[in-house]
Amino acid sequence: AIQACLFDLDGVIVDTAKYHYIAWRELAQDLGFDLTPEQNELLKGISRMESLDIILAIGHVTLSEEEKIARATIKNARYLELCQQMKPEDALPGVRAFLDELQADAIRIGLGSASKNARLILQGLDMLDYFETIVDGNRITKGKPDPEVFLLGARDLNAEPAATVVFEDAVAGVQAAKAGGMLAVGIGERTVLTVADIVIPGFENFSLTDLRSQLGL
Ligand code: B16
Ligand code: MG
């Protein structure tokens, strides 16, 4: 039986990637190069400072550690400014109904995100109350694809990894779930999320019954 479900935030609960992209692109342009939407894909599920390193490599720019922190701080302030437009109706289609179903079935719910802004975002969506535990970028020492984020979440919820389902849109996140011995539901495309147990386009028209039958549980 499914004991717990752990959700990634960006790309699963809400589309914040578009705001990350605007803020990272401004940082790149300030440094004299552009960032394409395809390059932005590489940053999904990756921590803030690792994302910055990837972007600097794309632009062939080298910065001192101080300068990197300063740039990342400006990027985050801009990102949070953009996130202020976020409203409860910005939760991705079907997510709320799915969480309601889990709650009604007494399946425990947690968040496993690389973001240090996870609480703020959930607050903006008015969805904090769904989550019994939040494991975010402030708590973890190793980013996805390391399983730490989801193992901590399962432990907080007293769930066995093998009875825990992770919902993830990023390749690194699906890998993290599998490395932790969990069931992984990819949100996106099968061609991209190759190691997921099942892949769905989103939560619209997806019920707990569908989850159980597709996982063979
Ligand atoms: P922050 P997730 C990740 O969140 C995003 O996908 C990734 O693009 C972002 O760089 C990372 O959070 C860190 O975010 O700058 O807010 O700490 O998908 O793991 O929920
Ligand atoms: Mg994500």
pLDDT at 42 over 90: no
Alpha helices per DSSP H over the chain: 17-30, 37-41, 48-58, 65-83, 95-104, 118-124, 148-156, 171-179, 208-215
Q: How far is CA 192 from CA 41, 62, 118, 143, 215, in A?
A: 11, 31, 25, 20, 19
Per-residue pLDDT reduced to its tens digit, 103-115: 999 999 999 999 9
Q: Is the CB of 114 under 6 A from ligand 1?
A: yes
Per-residue pLDDT reduced to its tens digit, 116-157: 999 999 999 999 999 999 999 999 999 999 999 999 999 999
Note the ipTM here.
0.92
pLDDT at 98 over 90: yes
- C-alpha 67 to ligand 2 mean position (Å): 27
Q: Choose the residue to mutate in 6, 7, 20, 92 for probing ligand 1, maximizing ligand atoms within 8 Å of C-beta.
A: 20
pLDDT of residue 41: 85
For the segment 190-194, the average pLDDT, to the nearest whole number, is: 94
State the catalytic residues: 8, 10
For the segment 147-174, the average pLDDT, to the nearest whole number, is: 97
**pTM of the predicted model as reported, rounded to 2 decimal places:** 0.94
pLDDT of residue 100: 98
- C-alpha 3 to ligand 1 mean position (Å): 26
Q: Which of 32-46, 50-64, 103-117 has the lowest mean pLDDT?
A: 32-46
Chain mean pLDDT for the chain: 97
pLDDT of residue 125: 97
Q: Is the CB of 46 under 6 A from ligand 1?
A: yes
User: Quick one: which H or E segment has residue 135?
Assistant: strand 133-135
Picking from 122, 138, 156, 151, the residue whose alpha carbon sits closest to that of residue 10 is 122
Q: Is the CB of 108 under 6 A from ligand 1?
A: no
